[in-house]
């Protein structure tokens, strides 16, 4: 049996003697006899080597694709070595929530630097220390904009279905009405938005680049919404922000994003990172922890958790959100990732991801039956028709070690990042021709 208990049996006995007890069971005297357990019905413990072998075998049952052309909410970007090196430091890995600032300056400063970088990326004023993932960030943002007489939320149908599902759960549990917009050619139907906007609308959630990769006309959506007194929440891909207009330029009130592209491995969906930033006037409604800068008694710069009066440990049932633990170490990943790449490197990632996608779209279009579903501008994902059953094509490519785009009915949602080289894209196109 593996064990991490420090005390030897002899030491345990000595401790019990000091407590005038005979066995550890004597400590559980308050547990009613009828429910006291004799033994758990699970396997016996194992040595580290046995556990290592067993779990490695389970892991080996997965297929790791060497060539990935699938995104739809999780993106295969290169992770610089320095990212893993930093977050593996045991001090960061094993530290508790930084409630004691004197011995948590390292964590607090790292979160402060993360927040600053997220504000720079999105162009908005305030960031929190992270929430669970992008979908939860969007859902929490919906709850942020509610007002007494504004209790409906409009959501674009072009947001990632996972994000829409979480928004619906969060809103339904608070009896908030969610109105889903119609699509117009794989983007928000602006006419439908105009019709649905009224004084009850607290906010509009739009994703850009959207689920189909299309860059939405967020500025027009912002103008229309603000004219009706509502707030605008833009859900986005943080990589795109290095190249395309940011939240400030599009005049949105809150930016949310799935932070996974910033240095987190795919990891079958988690841990990921929920990024949230907002304009200053919404600061007190922002959920979760926020780190602020202050000075200590020697007038030296230091960092602390701030604006805690919003949070559950102070406000209890009146808190703006129930969030406590967040994704701190993932936020550190994002921070190291952005600092390692810098403004030029991050722009390069964005340019390569988008350029590869446009190159792939062009090459695929040379094959009969592969046509873009819309000619609207896209970032690094696009939807195309497929001349045969899309699932069948995906399976045939899987046999060749390629994870193709995501089948959506009979179309395929393709994605590229900077990790897909021209050679790899050409090979994909050749392989498709072979297996058709």
Partner 1 sequence: MIMKLLFELSSKDRRLDLIPPCDSEVYNFEEKLLRKEKLRLPEVSEVDLSRHYSKLAKETHGVNDGFYPLGSCTMKYNPAINETIAADKNFTNIHPLQPVETVQGCLEVLYQAKKLLCEITGMDDMSFQPAAGAHGEYAGLILIKKYHQDRNDNKRVNIIVPDSAHGTNPASATMVGFKVVNIPSNENGGVDIEKLKEAVGEDTAGLMLTNPNTLGLFDPNILEITKIVHDAGGLCYYDGANLNAIMGKVRPGDMGFDCVHLNLHKTFSTPHGGGGPGSGPVGCKDILKDFLPTLEVEKNKDGYSFYKPAKTMGQVRSFYGNFLVVVKALTYIKTLGKEGIAEASGNAVLNANYLMNKLKDYYDVAYDLICMHEFVLSLEKLKREHAVSAMDIAKGCLDYGIHPPTMYFPTNCF
Considering only residues 322-361, where is the footprint of partner 1 by CB under 8 A?
A: 322-330, 332, 335-336, 338-349, 351-352, 354-359
Per CB under 8 A, contacts with partner 1 among 113-152 are 113, 116-117, 120-121, 123, 129-130, 132-136
Cβ–Cβ < 8 Å for 210, 158: yes
Please say whether the beta carbons of 400 and 229 come within 8 A. Answer: no
- Residue 47 C-beta: closest distance to partner 1, Å: 8
Q: Which is nearer to partner 1, 78 or 229 (CB)?
A: 78
Beta-strand pair 152-155/201-207: parallel
CA distance 30 to 283: 47
Angle at alpha carbon of residue 303, lines to 302 and 309, rounded to 5°:
135
Stretch that binds partner 1, among 89-97, 182-190, 278-286, 382-390 (CB under 8 A): 89-97
Please give the DSSP secondary-structure letter assigned to residue 179: E
x/- map, 216-235, partner 1, by CB under 8 A: --------------------
Among 22, 147, 173, 223, binds partner 1 (CB under 8 A): 173
Q: Is 365 in the site for partner 1 (CB under 8 A)?
A: no
Report in angstroms how near the CB of residue 344 gets to partner 1 at its nearest.
5
Q: Does 28 bind partner 1 (CB under 8 A)?
A: yes
The first and second tokens of residue 362, run together, are: 């062009």
Strands 67-68 and 231-236: unpaired
Contact status: 295 vs partner 1 (CB under 8 A):
no
Query: Taking CB under 8 A as the rule, does residue 236 contact partner 1?
Result: no
The site for partner 1, by CB under 8 A, has a size of: 178
Nearer to partner 1, 222 or 326 (CB): 326
CB neighbours of 83 closer than 8 A, spacing ≥ 6?
263, 333, 336, 337, 340
Q: Which is nearer to partner 1, 40 or 148 (CB)?
A: 40
Distance CA 207, CA 217 (A): 10
Site residues for partner 1, 250-289, by CB under 8 A, read: 258, 265-272, 289
CB atoms within 10 A of CB 72: 18
Residues 178-207 that bind partner 1 (CB under 8 A): none
- Does position 45 interact with partner 1 (CB under 8 A)? The reply is yes
Which strand (E) or helix (H) includes residue 50?
helix 48-60
User: Is the link from the previous residue into 63 a cis peptide, with omega within 30 of 0?
Assistant: no
């Amino acid at each position: 049996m593996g064990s991490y208990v420090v005390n030897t049996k002899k030491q345990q006995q000595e401790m019990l003697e000091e407590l005038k007890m005979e066995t550890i069971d004597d400590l559980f005297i308050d547990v009613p006899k009828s429910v006291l357990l004799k033994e758990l019905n699970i396997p016996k413990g194992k040595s580290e080597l046995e556990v290592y072998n067993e779990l490695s075998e389970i892991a080996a049952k997965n297929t790791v694709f060497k060539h990935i052309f699938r995104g739809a909410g999780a993106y295969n970007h290169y992770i610089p070595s320095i990212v893993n090196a930093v977050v593996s430091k045991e001090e960061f890995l094993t530290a508790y929530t930084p409630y004691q600032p004197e011995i948590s300056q390292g964590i607090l400063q790292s979160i402060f630097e993360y927040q600053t970088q997220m504000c720079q990326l999105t162009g908005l004023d305030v960031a929190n220390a992270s929430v669970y993932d992008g979908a939860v960030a969007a859902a929490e943002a919906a709850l942020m904009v509610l007002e007494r007489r504004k209790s409906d939320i409009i959501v674009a149908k072009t947001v990632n279905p996972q994000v829409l599902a979480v928004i619906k759960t969060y809103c339904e549990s608070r009896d908030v009405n969610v109105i889903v917009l119609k699509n117009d050619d794989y983007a928000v139907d602006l006419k439908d938005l105009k019709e649905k906007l009224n004084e009850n609308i607290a906010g509009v959630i739009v994703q850009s680049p959207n689920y189909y990769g299309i860059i939405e006309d967020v500025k027009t959506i912002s103008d229309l919404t603000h004219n009706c007194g509502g707030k605008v929440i833009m859900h986005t891909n943080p990589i795109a922000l290095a190249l395309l207009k940011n939240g400030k330029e599009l005049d949105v009130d809150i930016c949310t994003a799935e932070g996974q592209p910033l240095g987190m491995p795919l990891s079958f969906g988690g841990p990921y990172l929920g990024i949230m930033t907002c304009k200053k006037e919404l600061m007190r409604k922002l959920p979760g922890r926020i780190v602020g800068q202050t000075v200590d008694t020697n007038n030296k710069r230091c960092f602390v958790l701030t604006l805690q009066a919003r949070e559950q440990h102070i406000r209890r049932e009146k808190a703006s959100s129930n969030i406590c633990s967040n994704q701190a170490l993932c936020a550190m990943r994002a921070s190291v990732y952005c600092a390692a790449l810098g403004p030029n490197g991050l722009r390069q990632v964005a340019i390569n991801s988008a350029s590869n996608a446009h190159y792939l779209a062009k090459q695929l279009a040379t094959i009969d039956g592969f046509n873009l579903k819309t000619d609207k501008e896209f970032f690094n994902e696009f939807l195309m028709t497929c001349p045969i059953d899309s699932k069948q094509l995906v399976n045939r490519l899987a046999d060749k070690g390629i994870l193709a785009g995501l089948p959506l009915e009979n179309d395929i949602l393709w994605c590229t990042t900077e990790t897909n080289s021209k050679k790899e894209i050409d090979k994909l196109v050749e392989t498709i021709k072979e297996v058709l």
